[in-house]
Amino acid sequence: MLGEVSRRQFLKGAGASVAGSAMGALGFMGVEEAVAASIRPFKLANTTETRNTCPYCSVGCGIIMYSESSKADGKRKIMHIEGDVDHPTNRGTLCPKGAALLDFVNAPTRTKYPMHRAPGAKEFKRVSWEFALDRIAQLMKEDRDRNFVAKNKDGVTVNRWTTTGFLAASATTNETAFATYKVVRSAGMLVFDNQARV
């Protein structure tokens, strides 16, 4: 295949089969050395560009996120986000929310952990996932035990639970959506929606 040929050409072009350089052969002495000397004080900085999907809505626009190591603590930090030109959905465009993703990512008020505001309390406080899931399950179970309708007034089995609703987000995979549906419907919940623009 042509690709193979090209690959071989790359290797040759990369200096595997030649000695010396064009500059030297043409008589430009000292040019390479000058360049080598000029870059000595500099370091190679490493940045990345990563493809991802905008998390906002169900359109699922492609984005490219640029990141580099922070000088302060060496952690990678996203410094720019733009629409992915090669993505068939948005072809490089982003809506105002997508275009503001960088502020979303680096927002100081961004929710990173489960937070809990106890009844009567003024502040949210950070809790463990264990606590959060137990708490939600407990409240759901209590409500379901109280309000579950097994049969309607004509005695027909309906298994409804209408006092709790479920709002899922759109930025999910098919598998997540499938699992969500199974859990919610098996519990008898009728009020169930996927919010396309959370």
Partner 1 sequence: MAQPAPPTFEPIGIGEESRPPLAVTPNPASLFRDRAERFRALAEGHQMKPYLLFLAGLSQAQHATQGNLSPAAPPEAEDVRRAAEFGMPPIARERFEPDTAVAETLDRFFDLAAAVEAPEAASAALARLASRDSDRRRELLFAALADAPSADALSEHVFVSAALQVHFARLAATLDAGKLVPVADGACPACGGPPVTSSVVGWPSAHGARFCACSLCATRWHVVRVKCVLCSSTKGISYGEIEGVLDSIKAETCTECRGYLKILYEVKGPSLDPVADDVASLGLDMLVREAGWRRGSVNPYLVGF
**Does 26 participate in binding partner 1 (rule CB under 8 A)?**
yes
**Does 183 participate in binding partner 1 (rule CB under 8 A)?**
no
Q: Which of 72, 74, 75, 86 binds partner 1 (CB under 8 A)?
A: 86
Give residues with Cβ within 8 angstroms of 195, minimum separation 6: 167, 168, 169, 170
Q: What is the DSSP letter of 18?
A: -
**Does 109 participate in binding partner 1 (rule CB under 8 A)?**
no
Taking the complex as a whole, the smallest distance from the CB of residue 1 to partner 1 amounts, in Å, to: 6
Q: Which of 84, 161, 184, 189 binds partner 1 (CB under 8 A)?
A: 84
In the chain, the amino acid numbered 125 is K
Question: Are 132 and 114 spatial neighbours (Cβ–Cβ below 8 Å)?
Answer: yes
Question: Are 66 and 47 spatial neighbours (Cβ–Cβ below 8 Å)?
Answer: yes
Cα separation, 86 vs 65, whole angstroms: 14
Query: Token pair for residue 28?
Result: 């430009």
**Does 23 participate in binding partner 1 (rule CB under 8 A)?**
yes
Q: Which of 57, 78, 95, 102 binds partner 1 (CB under 8 A)?
A: 95
Q: Which residues lie near partner 1 (CB under 8 A)?
A: 1-3, 5-7, 9-10, 12-15, 17-29, 31-32, 34-39, 42-51, 64, 82-86, 90-95
